[in-house]
Structure 1
Amino acid sequence: MSHRSQASTSSLRSSLEIVPYTPLGAQEIEDTLVDLAHPYTGVLDLALGIKADGVSIQPCKATASQDRYVVEQFSLVEGGGMWTLTGVFDGHLGDATVEHTAHHLPVIIQEFLTKEYARSPGAVSHPASVARILKHAITSFDRDIVRDVAQLFPDGLGASLDKLSDAEIRAVINDYDNGLKNYKKVQLCLYGTTALVALVDPKRENVWVANLGDCQAVLASRRADGAWSSEFLTRSHNGTDEREVARVRDEHPGEPECIKNGRVLGAIAPFRCIGDQPFKLPPSFTRRVLFNLDPGYTNKAPWEQFLRRNLTPPYISADAEVVHRRIVPTRAPGAQTNHFLILCTDGLGDLYEDVRGKQELADRYMRAVVGPVPKPFSVDENYALKLLRSALGGEDLDAVSQLLTVQTEKTWLDDTTVIVQLL
């Protein structure tokens, strides 16, 4: 019942030194990266060269990636300006919840913004109002996952679970005759995902970043002298953040094992997520509902280790932290881009073995995108792929080859997803 390995890249590279791999030439590396990472570009404003590049990689072919990302645009009113929403999601335990979130959460955010605009058009012009809407949309989305399951039981989860036998519960949730509609709703409670969403207004004067978990957002800005600077917009909601540890301990006084070995209830790394209902609901929900979900659990011991610590849920929060920044948009064709945004899952940071501190990591990300000598951005170059290549080893062909082609059936890299969005 573990979220992920947190081994450093230095220990990773040393552990792979005795494992066979295939040395690749420069062109072979480019081709392999394209095959594995599936580079994508979403053009947001062709005239101004504004776009968002994305990649997602899991080089172990025996393992399916549980990362997802989105690049979308929408209008709040017919003929209105286009809002841009980008996001990265790092799923765990399974891919049902991360797939559901990547597909539906952008729709929910759009609906919340549209309703607020219909009620008061000026509200979406205020940064604090948009931040509130983002937070509300995300918490409501997570709450609806449980609500949809509760509605399967007429008397509600509490009373129904007290009255129904395991066989009766299984009949409700393993609904093969109904196309497994109920089954899929319950699955969303079992699995979880982090979420990092960026929203940019139609004039591209404001950017909001909403974060749950340990994905990362970095804003790079061009200074008056033409040099670039970087800023981390997120903090990691896990055991490495003292404020996050203090928050959970303050919410559960007298429970020394609410955090154990740097994990929530000793079991899961992210302290804020969508889904993961075993950490948000009483243990009876997991034992009576999730344990009865096919194919069942022959070994419940890992679950019981943390369920016995579940005394006063919730322990994991779906309350996103939202950061707002004003930006200076590109106004004319051919003008230089003043800002770009990097969104990534934590797998990217794990690839930087020698970084000391968040600011150095943000600077490394930024420099990988702009290059040693900054030059105008090109619609034809995928900057997410450029950043990923740098993280894997850059021009060190042997280092990149090793991480892409090591011959083992076991996963050696965390799923890694990157968006580079020009603003």
Structure 2
Amino acid sequence: MTSVPTVAEVQVELAERPDDSPLRCSFVPLSENDIAQRLAALARPERTVFDPARGHLADAVTFQPCTRYTSQDRFVVRQLDVHGMKWTFTGVFDGHLGDATVEHTAHHLPIIVQQLLHKVMTGPGAPMPSPDVVRDLLSSGITAFDNAIAGDVLELFPGGIDTLPDRTDEEIQAVVNDFAGPSGGANYQKARLCLYGTTALVALVDPSHENLWVANLGDCEAVLVTPDADGRLPRHEVLNVLHNGSNAAEIARVRRDHPGEPESVLNGRVLGTIAPFRCIGDAPFKQPAVFTRRVLYNLYPGVPDPTPWETFLSRNRTPPYISSEPDVVHRRLGPRSLLILATDGLSELCDGAGRTDMVADWARCVTEAGQVPGKENLALRLLRHALGGEDLMYISQMITLGMDSPWMDDTTIIVQAL
């Protein structure tokens, strides 16, 4: 998992460098026009219009200013055709350790939700499922999708996990590193998914735009914004809790599930290692340690230094420690509502602000721009606001720092007009 300094830490680091250090001011002051062009090039703003007559659309950006680094964020904005009815699926995914699992999730999860909706709606004339049915569909579908990641690998070994200690390294390698075999590397691709993980925050809207469901694993942010009659002073509601060490209930849940294991949560992290308490993937925290030591250690190119792995595997006594059960909420939608979905990079840009004040500020930002629907990309507007708004020097510093590694987290935002 990449460790990214907060904005405040970067500022302190720059300020503490000697005045004659060429790195203290290693950024390029930009004009307003230059900032607009550079932000657009880096964030690649997109707009998807679902229903132009009713103003249903979604704006999206995904941002990482360090061009030497590949973002592990992904987002999805699409419609799901279910017997001719158009459901809207949007989601943000914050990958960690690598991008294989986040890419797999962003691609397959909307397909799975579409298939599940097809099953509960048996034909074009079928009644709409109840909110509880859709809630259960999202929850069970996400959990089953996650279970299949390690399950597909264990199916490669007849007898399952209990047989792994009796297999030689060569036998296991022949199964999972199948590049030259008839499967063409299919087993390898399955096993790779177990190495990595991703948070998931997805929103589903019914064809009539009367109902919204939000399912969450991890520490992204979902905020529902409803303007007043005059379009200002927006009401807003945070739709998810954070599944990380800032949530005392999550810490208590893990410790309750693993009595007598004081290191199940250590320094606010699961097994002292990973920040999200719920996510997709991350099999080393969900399977017995033998799965990692026998399968993943033998996955090409191997693990040259297992010391960091063994630090947390030695604490892995009664898995799973990370949950794949999402929180799912349902809300009835009013007119002119907006939904903000954002990975935790956006929160980190607002470092120092309390969560309540932070999301209220986001709500004001997107609502004040919404007087002329569709005129401005609201996700890009919110990103710029978090990066410094009209402070050209601050924004210049934050998007042009001369550093070889990321100085801010990957940041992905969707603002959806519902």
Q: TM-score, normalised by structure 1?
A: 0.93
Q: Give me the whole-angstrom Cα distance separating, in 2, the residues matched to 1:167 and 1:416.
A: 41
CA contact (8 A) 1:113 1:124 kept: no
What are the equivalent positions in structure 2 for 1:199-348 lying under 5 Å apart?
199-224=204-229, 226=231, 227-329=233-335, 338-348=336-346
Q: For structure 2, list consecutive stretches of 5 or more residues without a partner in the other structure.
A: 16-23
Distance 2:229 2:238 in 1: 20
Quote the offset at 1:19 in angstroms: 4.4
Residue by residue over 1:357-378, the C-alpha shift from the partner in whole angstroms, topping out at 9 and shown as x without a partner, is x22111111112123xx65243
Q: Match for 2:413: what amino acid?
A: V
Distance 1:28 1:104, change over 3 A: same
- Judge which range, 150-159 or 136-145, deviates more: 150-159
Specify the SS of the correspondent of 1:82: strand
Give 1:17-28 correspondences, 5 Å limit. 17=15, 18-28=24-34
* DSSP-derived class of the 1:74 partner: strand
CA distance, structure 2, for counterparts of residue 122 and residue 242 of structure 1: 43
Question: What residue in structure 2 maps to residue 189 of structure 1?
Answer: 194
- In structure 1, the residue corresponding to 2:381 is in which secondary structure? helix
CA contact (8 A) 2:220 2:343 kept: yes
Q: Distance in 2 between matches of 1:393 and 1:154?
A: 56
CA–CA distance in structure 1, aligned partners of residues 38 and 285 of structure 2: 39
Question: How many Å separate the matches in 2 of 1:182 and 1:57?
Answer: 32
Structure 1: distance between partners of 2:193 and 2:128: 31
CA distance in 1, matches of 2:28, 2:287: 47
1:104 corresponds in structure 2 to: 108
> 116, 121, 145: which one pairs with 1:117?
121
Are 2:361 and 1:364 aligned? Answer: yes
* Percent of aligned positions that are identical: 52
Deviation at 1:121, TM superposition (A): 7.5
Does the 8 Å CA contact 2:75/2:90 hold for their aligned counterparts? Answer: yes
Alignment of 1:386-401 (within 5 A): 386-401=381-396
Cα drift, residue 16 of structure 1 = 3.5
Q: CA deviation at 1:122?
A: 6.4
Instruction: Confirm or deny: 8 A CA contact 2:227 2:367 kept in the other structure.
Output: no
Alpha-carbon separation, structure 2, partners of 1:22 and 1:224: 43
Secondary structure of 1:289's counterpart equals helix
C-alpha distance in structure 2 between counterparts of 1:119 and 1:287, whole Å: 48
Alignment equivalent of 1:413, drawn from 408, 413, 416: 408
1:88 equivalent in structure 2: 92
3-state SS of the aligned residue for 1:312?
A: coil
Tell me the CA shift for residue 162 of structure 1. Answer: 2.8
CA distance in 2, matches of 1:310, 1:417: 32
CA deviations 1:213-236 (Å, max 9, x no partner) are 001100001234643111111111
Contact preservation (8 Å) 1:123, 1:130: no
What SS does the corresponding residue of 2:226 show, helix, strand or coil? strand
Q: Give the distance between the partners of 1:64 and 1:101, measured in 2 at CA.
A: 17
2:374 is matched with which residue? 379
- Cα distance in structure 1, aligned partners of 2:325 and 2:2: 19
Q: 1:186 to 1:123 in 2, by over 3 A?
A: farther
1:9 to 4, 7, 10: 7
CA–CA distance in 2 between the matches of 1:306 and 1:120?
Answer: 51
Q: Which 4+ residue blocks in structure 1 deviate beyond 6 angstroms?
A: 119-123
Paired residues in the alignment total 407
Q: Using a 3 Å threshold, how does the CA distance of structure 1 residues 123 and 186 change in structure 2: closer, same or farther?
A: farther
Partner Cα separation in structure 2 for residue 122 and residue 20 of structure 1 = 62
Give the AA of the match of 1:191: Y
How many Å apart are 1:248 and its aligned residue? 0.6
Greater CA drift, 113-122 or 412-421: 113-122
Q: What is the match of residue 332 of structure 1?
A: none
Residues 82-91 or 376-385, more deviating: 376-385
- Find the counterpart in structure 2 of residue 335 from structure 1: none
Distance 2:250 2:352 in 1: 25
- Provide the secondary structure at the position in 1 that maps to 2:61: strand
Residue 128 (structure 2) pairs with residue 130 (structure 1): no
Q: SS at 1:176's partner residue?
A: coil
- Residue 44 of structure 1 contacts residue 50 of structure 1 at CA under 8 Å; is this kept in 2? yes
Given the superposition, is the C-alpha separation of residues 377 and 359 from structure 1 closer, same or farther in structure 2, using an over 3 Å criterion?
Answer: farther
Match of 1:166 among 165, 169, 174: 169
On the 8 A contact 1:124/1:130 being kept in 2, the answer is no
Report the Cα distance in structure 2 between the residues aligned to 1:71 and 1:292, rounded to whole angstroms.
37
How big is each residue's C-alpha offset from its partner over 1:194-214, in whole Å with a ceiling of 9 and x where there is no partner? 000000001101111000000
Q: Quote the Cα distance in structure 2 between the aligned partners of 1:108 and 1:76.
A: 12
Bigger shift: residues 214-223 or 63-72? 214-223
1:361–1:193 Cα change, 3 Å: same
The one-letter code of the counterpart of 1:344 is A
8 Å Cα contact 2:92-2:341 kept in structure 1: yes
Deviation at residue 408 of structure 1 after TM alignment: 0.9
Q: 1:345, 1:47 → 2: CA distance?
A: 30
In the alignment, is the contact (CA less than 8 A) between 1:150 and 1:157 conserved in 2? yes
Q: Which amino acid aligns with 2:9?
A: S
- The answer to whether the 8 Å contact 1:166/1:288 transfers is yes
RMSD between aligned alpha carbons?
1.6
The alignment partner of 2:162 has SS state of helix
How far off its partner does 1:10 sit?
Answer: 2.1
- Aligned-partner SS, 1:359: helix
Instruction: Label 1:255 to 1:114 Cα distance change in 2 as closer, same or farther (>3 A).
Output: same
Change (3 A) 1:198 1:153: same
> For residue 151 of structure 1, what is the aligned residue in structure 2?
155
Shift, 1:124, TM fit = 4.2
Residue type of the partner of 1:278? P
Superposed CA offset, 1:51-97 (max 9, x none): 000000111111100000000101211x3x21000000000000000
